[in-house]
Amino acid sequence: MISAIQWIRKGAAAQQPKKYDLNDQEYARISKLAADQLEDAKQELKAAEAMSVDSTAKKADKEVDEMDQYNLESYDAEVEASNKKVGIFSNIKDLAYYENDEEDPYITLKNNVDEEEERKDLEILPTDNMLLAAKTEDDISQLEVYVYEEGEDNIYVHHDIMLPSFPLCLEWLDFHTGEGKVNAETSGNYTAIGTFEPDIEIWDLDTIDIMFPETILGHTDKSKKRSKKVNPNYHVDAIMDLAWNKNHRNFLLSSSADGTVKLWDLTTSKCVQSYNHHNDKVQSVAWHPTEPTVFISGSYDKTVCVLDARSPEQVTRWQLAADVESIRWDPHHPSNFYVALENGFIQYYDVRVAENGKGGKPLFTLQAHDDAVSALDVNPLVPGCIATGSTDKSIKIWNTNDNKPSMVTSRNFELGKIFSTQFCPDSPFQLAIAGSNGKMHVWDMASNAGVRQAFRHQSLVNVVHTEEKKPVSVPDDIEEDDMDDDEPLQEEPEDEDDDDMEEDSD
């Protein structure tokens, strides 16, 4: 399944990604990270052993026999070296190596041609978008980094990164976070990843075959035991959502199943503020598009809260009828925001309609799906255009102009339950969609007649009115030869607008 996706704008990625270099400095860095992770594992093992003391005592007689059977009395002597501080590459400096292939007598083939071909294969053009997908298959999780060539209707996996746990959310950022790399004057190409683990990992997307993240945000003081209680310094449960501040580039917000929202300073990799205005899992968080210190959060406590990061006590709260699935600000009307709910509804609010810390009524309420609205995005380039996805396996496009929402089109792309959808930041009608079957599609909505009719946009002027294109995806090996690209898509039957929509006139 694909649990999260993230577009990266054109030109953000390095045109020629660098290969991972395990030099002395990098060796020292990852050895420290590995030692920290080993220390966490030891603490968890001790805790597990403490819980099993009673059951161990009952099996004492059996263990005596096993000590004799397997000669465990001499085990400690055999692994005496395990008490020393070792890393995952503890013996690497004892290996003989050569500075280059020319000096190595065992390498006889010249690979200049192969290197040039590989360099061309890895090249990312300024006209290419990158697209990230957090994928889990057979209990193995990884981040797949795609390159999308819009002009060629082509998408392919550029490289991937193994992840330590099931991923829940992705956020792109351009702020250098690695040790010795922090520089506010330059920009990079990174992604922050939230998983079922309480730590946040930040990976460099411009490095191929990278082994460890650039930075880990969380419990880093290994001289102190990781607390399982909620605290102001780090999360203690899964990371549900992430939001990078594009105005203050060194700030990252995270929301967690531990009920808190935390503000991280990427220059120090430390938590500088913890917010406790919710009393259940915080599912979604987002910075305001124009007010750089204001953010919004939504929770399983059935509330949405808006507050200034500098004044955590001053909270405006909206009480809802169901758990929050996701929240999006409206970039075309910055004082307004959308909320997707577990009961299948979308609500649209004006943050200014509030009194004494209590939010007002929605501008409209829309019954978007029969099941939970598990995916929501607002088109950053086309006003009034939003996309919703659901566990009912459908993706829908809506026109919400004039606060009178109507469904434009509905599709079932056989992606299973829809968990994530996002509009491309550079092309107004390119929509990425992913779900439970582990595939991702990029749908050219401009080829849909209903979309062209509903939204008047300059990018649609030169669109040829032909049959709707099939979405672009990485083809299956078995089905690739059998695909008929000319076969038009079949629309799902549309419900009447009156059945889908309920407006609040107050």
pLDDT tens digits for range 283-302: 999 999 999 999 999 999 99
pLDDT reading at 203 higher than 70: yes
Residue 87 per-residue DSSP state:
-
pLDDT computed for residue 226 by the predictor: 81
pLDDT tier for residue 117 given thresholds of 50, 70 and 90: confident
- For the four alpha carbons of 9, 11, 17 and 20, in that order, the dihedral sign comes to negative
User: Mean per-residue pLDDT for 248-256?
Assistant: 96
Query: Which segments within 121-276 are labelled E, that is strand?
Result: 129-137, 140-149, 154-162, 167-173, 190-195, 200-204, 207-208, 215-217, 239-244, 251-256, 261-265, 270-275
pLDDT computed for residue 90 by the predictor: 52
pLDDT computed for residue 502 by the predictor: 46
User: Mean per-residue pLDDT for 89-106?
Assistant: 62
- Residue 283 makes CB contacts below 8 A (sequence gap 6+) with 240, 241, 255, 298, 299, 300, 323, 324, 325, 326
Query: What span, in angstroms and rounded, lies between the C-alpha atoms of 384 and 407?
Result: 11
Question: How far, CA to CA in Å, does 280 sit from each of 93, 169, 217, 300?
Answer: 49, 18, 22, 6
pLDDT reading at 505 higher than 80: no
Beta carbons of 470 and 485 less than 8 angstroms apart: yes
pLDDT tens digits for 395-415?
Answer: 999 999 999 999 999 999 999
pLDDT computed for residue 18 by the predictor: 84
pLDDT computed for residue 204 by the predictor: 94
Residue 468 per-residue DSSP state:
P
pLDDT computed for residue 480 by the predictor: 42
Percent of the chain's residues with pLDDT above 70 = 72
pLDDT reading at 154 higher than 60: yes
pLDDT reading at 174 higher than 70: yes
Q: Tell me the HSE value of 164 on the side-chain side, using a 13 A CA sphere.
A: 18
Look-up of token digits 């953000």 = 12
pLDDT reading at 421 higher than 60: yes
Mapped onto helix, strand or coil, the DSSP state of residue 338 is strand
Q: What is the mean pLDDT of the chain?
A: 83
pLDDT tier for residue 165 given thresholds of 50, 70 and 90: very high
Query: What span, in angstroms and rounded, lies between the C-alpha atoms of 27 and 93?
Result: 10
Query: What span, in angstroms and rounded, lies between the C-alpha atoms of 259 and 324?
Result: 13
CA 364 from centroid of its chain's CA atoms: 29
Tokens of 163: 């992840």
Amino acid at 432: A
Beta carbons of 148 and 128 less than 8 angstroms apart: yes
Tokens of 323: 């758990």
User: Mean per-residue pLDDT for 184-203?
Assistant: 91
Task: Name which residue leads in pLDDT, 118 or 257.
Answer: 257
Beta carbons of 189 and 178 less than 8 angstroms apart: no
Beta carbons of 270 and 293 less than 8 angstroms apart: no
- Residue 100 makes CB contacts below 8 A (sequence gap 6+) with none
pLDDT computed for residue 177 by the predictor: 81
pLDDT reading at 145 higher than 60: yes
User: Mean per-residue pLDDT for 454-464?
Assistant: 69
Q: Which of 221, 179, 222 is nearest to 204 (CA)?
A: 179
**DSSP labels, 13-31:** S-SSPEEP---HHHHHHHH
- For the four alpha carbons of 456, 459, 461 and 462, in that order, the dihedral sign comes to negative
Q: Read off the pTM.
A: 0.79
Task: Name which residue leads in pLDDT, 494 or 442.
Answer: 442
Query: What span, in angstroms and rounded, lies between the C-alpha atoms of 473 and 442?
Result: 6
Beta carbons of 175 and 462 less than 8 angstroms apart: no
Q: Mean pLDDT highest for which of 94-98, 112-116, 382-386? A: 382-386
pLDDT reading at 249 higher than 50: yes
pLDDT reading at 442 higher than 80: yes
pLDDT computed for residue 119 by the predictor: 77
- Residue 132 makes CB contacts below 8 A (sequence gap 6+) with 4, 5, 6, 7, 8, 143, 144, 145, 146, 170, 172, 191, 205
Q: Tell me the HSE value of 392 on the side-chain side, using a 13 A CA sphere.
A: 17
pLDDT reading at 132 higher than 50: yes
Lowest pLDDT segment from 228-242, 324-338, 408-422, 489-503: 489-503
User: Mean per-residue pLDDT for 29-47?
Assistant: 63
Beta carbons of 486 and 168 less than 8 angstroms apart: no
Query: What span, in angstroms and rounded, lies between the C-alpha atoms of 460 and 467?
Result: 15
